[in-house]
């Protein structure tokens, strides 16, 4: 077995969601779930089919993000893995909709941070083992950090 860390290619203004699903209609159902969230969000989706023609299936409402999702999916190259890239939207706004898609089995990550997908390769194929999401902690928050976190969440509208 070989292990590798596959970095997610994306710009700083994008969020990425990587998950595992189990059926060819995943790409269409993810598209519908994201489109229903609305709000001007732009997205691209790629899904690695793992049987039959084993194609990377694609969809989205932004051709640039669709192309980027496909490039990431091709590099990850794990059966039934999907990549969603978001612009003008956040994972917290779409994760429940994605989790409700019947084919979705697992969400590996949902982040704006630099991320690496940890992949194992065997003679059968490739699979996702996990994710490295951002950097390691540098300490424990103190009272000023708590106040800053509380203020940020209210400034961006996630808390009242």
Report angle CA 22, 88, 16 to the nearest 5 degrees: 35
- What integer pLDDT is reported at residue 43 of this predicted model? 98
First to last CA, the chain: 49
Quick one: residue 27, left, alpha or beta (phi over 0 = left, psi -120 to 50 = alpha)?
Answer: alpha
Reading the block at residue 46, the tokens are 């790629």
In this predicted structure, the answer to whether residue 158 has a pLDDT above a threshold of 90 is no
Calpha distance 98→158 (Å, rounded): 20
Number of neighbouring beta carbons within 10 Å of residue 86: 26
When the pLDDT of each residue in the chain is averaged and rounded to a whole number, the result is 96
Q: What is the pLDDT of residues 60-88, one digit of tens each?
A: 999 999 999 999 999 999 999 999 999 99
Binned at pLDDT 50, 70 and 90, residue 105 comes out as: very high
CATH 3.40.630.30 fits 2-155, yes or no: no
The DSSP result for 69-100, as a single string, is: HHHHHHHH--TTEEEEEEES--HHHHHHHHHT
pLDDT for res 151: 95
pLDDT digits (tens, 9 = 90+) for 29-70: 999 999 998 779 999 999 999 999 999 999 999 999 999 999
């Amino acid at each position: 077995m070989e292990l590798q860390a596959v970095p997610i290619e994306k710009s700083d203004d994008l969020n990425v969601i990587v998950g595992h699903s189990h059926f060819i209609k995943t790409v269409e159902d993810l598209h519908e779930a994201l489109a229903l969230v609305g709000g001007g969000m732009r997205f691209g989706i790629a899904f690695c089919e793992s049987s039959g023609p084993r194609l990377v299936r694609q969809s989205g409402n932004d051709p640039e993000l669709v192309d980027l999702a496909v490039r990431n999916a091709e590099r990850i190259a794990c059966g039934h893995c999907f990549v969603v890239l978001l612009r003008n939207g956040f994972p917290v706004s779409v994760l429940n909709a994605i989790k409700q898609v019947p084919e979705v089995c697992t969400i590996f990550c949902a982040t704006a941070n630099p991320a690496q997908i940890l992949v194992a390769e065997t003679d059968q194929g490739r699979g996702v083992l996990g994710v490295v999401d951002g950097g390691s902690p540098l300490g424990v928050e103190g009272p000023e950090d708590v106040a800053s976190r509380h203020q940020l969440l209210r400034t961006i509208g996630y808390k009242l």
